[in-house]
Amino acid sequence: MAYYKPEEDLENRIIIRNPLSSEEIGILMTGEEAENRLSDNENPAALSIEKWKRMQKLISILSKKTDPEFFYPDLIYFIGYKTCALCLNSIEQYELKYGIQKYKENRCLMCPLRKIDCCLDTSSAFNKIVYLLEGKVSSKIKPGIDFSSISSAERLKMIDDAILKMIENLKMIKGSKF
């Protein structure tokens, strides 16, 4: 995803792209980091908690910029299953037991978080974060609201609340056997 600045070369119709800086990206957990740390036998739930705390830290940094919501779509890549230690662990466990997964829902079958708040459910903390970062408000998040009427501060608060809920859910399963 990209952040598009409202500056446009009208003659050439070129949109100037301003992605997150390398320093900002360095705050986030990448899939490679999650995989490496899992291979060192780190707790998947603890890694996922760290991932979300780091996301929260970056969103706090971005909130101090003039238009922080323009950067939010760039964060989508860093919140999905490819950067989630729980998902990566669950996929590995599923494939060891059943073979290659045919459907994305299969990755959740071995995940202890699914019993509390399955990420694929439209009303999950995870999907609330996705909707808010993408600039959409689902009726599951705030019924009957027009997204354009939400202030930047209110959107930031809603994202922060959803991340805190995700961290709270992950803490409940931290002691689970993986």
Amino acid identity, position 45: A
Q: CB of 65 within 8 A of CB of 71? A: yes
Each of the 178 residues of the chain gets a pLDDT tens digit; together they read 444 344 444 444 444 445 788 899 999 999 999 999 999 999 999 999 999 999 999 999 999 988 888 888 889 889 999 999 999 999 999 999 999 988 888 889 999 999 999 999 988 999 999 988 887 655 555 555 666 678 888 889 999 999 999 999 999 998 877 6
Backbone φ and ψ for 80, nearest 5 degrees, come out as -75, -175
Report yes or no on whether pTM surpasses 0.85.
no
- Tell me the three state secondary structure of residue 172: helix
In three-state form (DSSP H/G/I as H, E/B as E, the rest C), the secondary structure along 78-129 is: HCCHHHCHHHHHHHHHHHHHHCCCCCHHHHHCCCCCHHHHCCCCCCCHHHHH
Domains in the chain: boundaries:
4-117+163-173
